[in-house]
């Protein structure tokens, strides 16, 4: 155990996870160059949960040419795929609207300032 909060899971009753539970699970996903999770960075634009447990995540990155796009996608799919009730995860990157620091949560901004970023 790394000391990070583990994603909350739904009981093994076959119930689907909520959007809040999916967003919580995504908080373990970080851009290796930025010490803040993708949720607090404001990179998650949408979460859609189908009745069969398929989860579609629409997100962006801080830059179009992000060299770790595939790593972030795999980490997001793995984090959400661990939740009970999830059968499949698809992550789609979009570039509109473009990301900006204004999309960050207050906690994300605080974390960035702690690491010396000016936000």
Secondary element (H or E) of residue 46: strand 44-49
pTM for this prediction: 0.85
In the chain, domain spans: 19-99
Dihedral of alpha carbons 62, 16, 79, 91, sign: negative
pLDDT (tens digit, 9 = 90+) per residue, 63-86?
998 899 999 999 999 999 999 999
- Domain 19-99 is found in CATH 1.10.3720.10: no
Q: Output the average pLDDT for the chain.
A: 89
Percent of the chain's residues with pLDDT above 90: 76
Give me the pLDDT at residue 13, please: 53
Tell me the pLDDT band of 119, cut-offs 50, 70 and 90.
confident
pLDDT, tens digit (0-9, with 9 covering 90-100), for 24-58: 999 999 988 888 999 999 999 999 999 999 999 99
List Cβ neighbours of 63 (8 Å cut-off, separation of 6 or more): none
Q: Is the pLDDT of residue 3 over 90?
A: no
């Amino acid at each position: 155990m790394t000391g990070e909060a583990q994603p909350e899971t739904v009981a093994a009753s076959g119930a689907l996870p909520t959007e809040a539970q999916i967003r919580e699970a995504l908080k373990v996903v970080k851009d290796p160059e930025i010490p803040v999770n993708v949720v607090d960075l404001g990179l998650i634009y949408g979460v859609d949960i189908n009745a069969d447990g398929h989860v579609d995540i629409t997100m962006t990155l801080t830059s179009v040419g992000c060299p770790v796009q595939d790593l972030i996608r795999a980490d997001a799919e793995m984090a959400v795929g661990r939740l009970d009730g999830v059968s499949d995860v698809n992550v789609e990157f979009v570039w509109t609207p473009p990301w900006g620091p204004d999309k960050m949560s207050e906690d994300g901004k605080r974390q960035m300032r702690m690491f010396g970023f000016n936000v």
